[in-house]
Amino acid sequence: MPAQTSSTPAPAETATPTAISLQGIVKDFPLRRGTAVRALERLDLQIGHGEFVALLGPSGCGKSTVLRMVAGLEQPSEGEVAVEGRSPADLVRAHRLGVAFQEHALLPWASARDNVALPFRVAGRPVDRTRVDDLLALVGLTGFEDARPRQLSGGMRQRVAIARALALEPDVLLLDEPFGALDAVTRRRMNLELARIWMEQRITTLLVTHDVDEAVLLADRVVVMTGRPGRVRHVQQVDMPHPRGTEVTRDPDFHALVDRLTAMLDDPEPTAEPS
């Protein structure tokens, strides 16, 4: 099948051809007695506007560190990170980044509606109640607007977290193992929900995951990292048209690609070249 690219054009005011750019990234974490561990080594990665990219790699390879840098939560020791041609800190101050982590971090005393409305209040903006209710409908939570997190299942809480990340119509959505704590059946359902949401929103998305099936189902490109210190080992275009539903997971090509990427993760030697 031909490669699929997003048909959504970059915003007219955007001068940079890429939404996310990491160039020559090195990250050292200091230890005691003046020593340090190198988490990332000369990592380069560019993500286009409206593209969905999944980041795979062995545990401890620096996947989440990459995402935290894009989110402005970590600074590189060397190299440059740019989002929409600006520093991540600029996008954070403008509330143009949406982030959802494995831990949903919902306010336990607040309703689903109030949790999704939180970014408006943090940004000092009037709450757009229509936007909030539309997002709850988008993630399939119509009828649960007034429910507290303890009244929701794990999958429903993650839906609230994703709706909250989308509240201010961010330029970039960052997802760090958002379904990692869910059971296999719920995770599969949430993958399909996320695929549907992305098709409707077409926001530039970076997903960190350990799940190869999840990466292939959702992403336009899958980036495989080496073990620590992490760097890009292989970039795989996923040539399957969107939208992708459960029928895709029964396709022999899907399983062949999953097997190929899984073999890379199982192989300690970075022999594959970017495609």
Q: DSSP state, 86? A: B
86 domain residue, yes or no? yes
pLDDT single digits (tens) 69-92: 999 999 999 999 999 999 999 999
**What is the predicted pLDDT for the residue at 9?**
40
* Nearest alpha carbon to residue 56 among 196, 262, 208, 273: 208
Cβ partners under 8 Å of residue 180, min gap 6: 102, 209, 210, 211
Note whether residue 68 is domain-resident. Answer: yes
Q: Is residue 126 part of a domain?
A: no
Taking residues 254-271, what's their average pLDDT? 83
Task: Name residues whose C-beta falls within 8 Å of residue 55's C-beta, 6 or more positions apart in sequence.
Answer: 63, 66, 67, 206, 207, 208, 209, 223, 225
Residue 199 domain flag:
no
Residue 79 lies in a domain: yes
- Residue 5: pLDDT over 60: no
> Residue 15: is it exposed, middle or buried by C-beta count within 10 angstroms (0-12/13-18/19+)?
exposed
Short-list 232, 205, 155, 229, CA closest to 6: 205
Average pLDDT, the chain: 87
Over residues 7-32, the pLDDT tens digits come to 334 333 444 578 999 999 999 998 88
Claim: this prediction has a pTM higher than 0.75: yes
- Residue 218: give the domain boundaries: 16-96+209-275
Per-residue CA distances from 56 to 60, 110, 196, 226, 232 (Å): 11, 34, 22, 9, 10
Mean pLDDT on 126-151: 93
CATH number at 255 reads 3.40.50.300
* 169 within some domain: no
Domain annotation covers residue 154: no
Q: State the average pLDDT over residues 29-47.
A: 90
CA-wise closest residue to 27 among 269, 231, 226, 259: 231
Residue 228 lies inside a defined structural domain of this protein = yes
Domain count, the chain: 1
